[in-house]
Amino acid sequence: MTRPGAGCVMVVTSEQDVTANLVIESLNARRAPVVRVDPADIGAGLSFHARLGGGESRWSGQLRTSSRDIALEQVRAFYYRRPSPWRFENLKPQARAFATTEARYGLNGLLRSLPDCHYVNHPAAVGVGEHKPAQLQVAARVGFTVPETLITNDLDAAMSFAAGHSPMVYKAFRGLPPGPDDQAQAIWTQRVDPIDLDESIAVTAHLFQAEVPKHSDARVTVVGTRVFASQITSLENALDWRSGDHDSLTHVPIAVPDHITWALRAYLDAFKLVFGCFDFALEETGQVAEPYRWTFIECNPNGQWGWLPDSDAIADAFAETLLQGWFV
């Protein structure tokens, strides 16, 4: 156990984040000091100050929530999850936009610059790793099989790609923003009939891919040096397993081939990530030694994993990774 005040783990997320709760429970079981912070509470629920200069080359200061006071220089590990959107509901639109920008670049900028702090993952690395064009290029470079892909807003290019890649699927880059009731919404992977392609493609960017004739899917969660893999089968034979009834999904452990494990680590290293949730399409090969061909679909650098059967083990891996090197 650390000495009082020797260090703590900061978990940056919303109050309702049940996935973060699993990690906090695992940290608590190790008697590690933990503080939960949602930057969107700035104001009455969160105040802070930080100083630099006068002979000091690193930020030091204090952050105060409704329940805790934290010395910034004592934050030794930082688990970045899913903080709430900025609020500032009582301000007029221009003032709200200004306050949001200042908080993002001021408070968030400070939290991204803590000295001697181990980030899982660093928010900047998450931001880079969320872009699908970068994901696919790095995936191909480290040796993953990737679907033939077109990114375009050009109708002729889309029509030409569709003619050579049937069936073709469409995927959103980020999905739909929340609806009027603030409920999360999504656009699932869907097949595209070429006759439905029209000039509306010019409005924005689109991602088209050749459909992978998959047998099932794999979700591979990498935390530090540990790899957790589940094979996911949909009774509905869904093109996108996320779109159907989750109770109809079956999850069984699956061995990850050595060359895939090597590429997983090379991929994370390329984005300076400690953690990632990888999705693969699995095609049957008919071979006993390697029964499936693994095709990279995407990697979410801040993905959900609390619903997986091995979520407790994943939470333990997070706790071990966050505490590594400073908590004894």
- What would the pLDDT profile of 108-119 be if each residue is shown by its tens digit? 999 999 988 999
DSSP 8-state symbol, 34? E
154 and 102 in a single domain? The answer is no
Asked if residue 308 is part of any domain, the answer here is no
Asked if residue 254 is part of any domain, the answer here is yes
Task: Compute the half-sphere exposure of residue 192: CA atoms within 13 Å on the CB side of its CA.
Answer: 25
| pLDDT score of 203 more than 70 | yes
81 and 188 in a single domain? The answer is no
126 and 218 in a single domain? The answer is yes
Asked if residue 114 is part of any domain, the answer here is yes
Burial of 100 (0-12, 13-18, 19+ CB in 10 A): middle
269 and 172 in a single domain? The answer is no
Q: What is the DSSP string of 149-193?
A: EEEES-HHHHHHHHHHSSSEEEE-SS-PPP-TT--------EEE-
Is 236 or 63 the better-scoring residue by pLDDT? 63
Asked if residue 2 is part of any domain, the answer here is no
pLDDT at 177: 73
> What pLDDT, in 10s, does the model give residues 308-325?
999 999 999 999 999 999
138 and 263 in a single domain? The answer is yes
pLDDT at 182: 63
| pLDDT score of 263 more than 80 | yes
- Please give the order of strands across the beta sheet that includes 226-234: 249-253, 226-234, 216-223, 275-284, 292-300
Asked if residue 194 is part of any domain, the answer here is yes
pLDDT at 3: 41
Q: Are 275 and 301 in contact (CB under 8 A)?
A: yes
The CATH code of the domain that includes 87 is 3.40.50
Q: What proportions of the chain, in percent to the nearest 5, are helix, strand and coil?
A: 30, 30, 40
Phi and psi at residue 130, to the nearest 5°: -80, -10
Last residue of a domain, one of 169, 192, 210: 210
pLDDT at 179: 67
| pLDDT score of 172 more than 50 | yes
Amino acid letter at 231?
Q
187 and 246 in a single domain? The answer is no
Q: How confident is the model at residue 152 (pLDDT cuts 50, 70, 90)?
A: very high
Last residue of a domain, one of 163, 182, 210: 210
Asked if residue 311 is part of any domain, the answer here is no
pLDDT at 241: 75
- Number of domains composing the chain: 3
| pLDDT score of 253 more than 90 | yes
CA separation for the pair 166, 60 (Å, rounded): 58
115 and 262 in a single domain? The answer is no
Domain that includes residue 42, residue range: 8-121+317-323
15 and 112 in a single domain? The answer is yes
Q: Are 59 and 115 in contact (CB under 8 A)?
A: yes
98 and 241 in a single domain? The answer is no
Asked if residue 176 is part of any domain, the answer here is yes
Q: What is the dihedral of CA 138, 145, 299, 75, to 10 degrees?
A: -50
202 and 228 in a single domain? The answer is no
46 and 104 in a single domain? The answer is yes
Q: Is the pTM of this model over 0.85?
A: yes
pLDDT at 184: 63
DSSP H helices in 18-154: 18-29, 93-103, 109-111, 123-129, 132-142
Asked if residue 74 is part of any domain, the answer here is yes
pLDDT at 183: 66
| pLDDT score of 163 more than 80 | yes
Burial of 53 (0-12, 13-18, 19+ CB in 10 A): exposed
Closest-CA residue to 77 (of 115, 109, 47) = 115
102 and 174 in a single domain? The answer is no
Last residue of a domain, one of 194, 210, 226: 210
| pLDDT score of 5 more than 70 | no
